[in-house]
Amino acid sequence: MTSGVVVRTATVDDVEEVARLFAGYLDFYEHPREPAEVIAYLAARIANGEGVVLLAEDPARGGAVVGFAQCYPSWASLELAPAWVLYDLFVDPAARRLGVGRALLRAVAERARAAGATTAVLETAHTNTSAQALYESEGWVRDTTYRTYALEL
């Protein structure tokens, strides 16, 4: 486990570095995109304040960015309160199992609480059991009450 991973909020100046990791995330979920599309998407989310992107930097690797999480502030209607959706989380394969994902999850929870959110939610692939184990070890609970549906438009 790495100690000392630093998690900070990304700015538009970080977009190319985030895009490098985001490309790996998209490849993992078999949705590759052109680099220019990824950069434009991330730049818009950050610049417009539509998302919160957190970067994990590893001082042991010269401060290299080794992971990211992207969250979207939203609302929890049943609680009549703010909520956060953790939509994307990715750790560079060379930095996995070193505590980077855990540091990002903790930073998401901390920032969501600070923003007044009463809940944070995420989804992951049914087959992504290593991520599921991490989430559950950090107190995230698998929803057994509601089903998620999607409609492609």
Taking the domains of the chain in order of start, what are their residue ranges?
Answer: 6-137
- Residues 71 and 101: beta-carbon distance below 8 Å: no
Confidence of residue 4 (pLDDT cuts 50, 70, 90): confident
d(CA 47, CA 30): 27
What is 4-36 written as a DSSP string? Answer: --EEEE--GGGHHHHHHHHHHHHHHTT----HH
Query: What predicted TM-score, i.e. pTM, was given to this entire model?
Result: 0.91
CA dihedral over 146, 28, 71, 6, signed as positive or negative: positive
Confidence at residue 142, expressed as pLDDT on a 0 to 100 scale: 94
Query: For residue range 9-30, what is the model confidence (pLDDT) as tens digits?
Result: 999 999 999 999 999 999 988 8
Strands 119-122 and 81-91, bridge-based pairing = parallel
pLDDT category at 3 given cuts 50, 70, 90 is low
**CATH of 6-137 among 3.40.630.30, 3.40.190.10, 3.40.50.300, 3.60.40.10:** 3.40.630.30
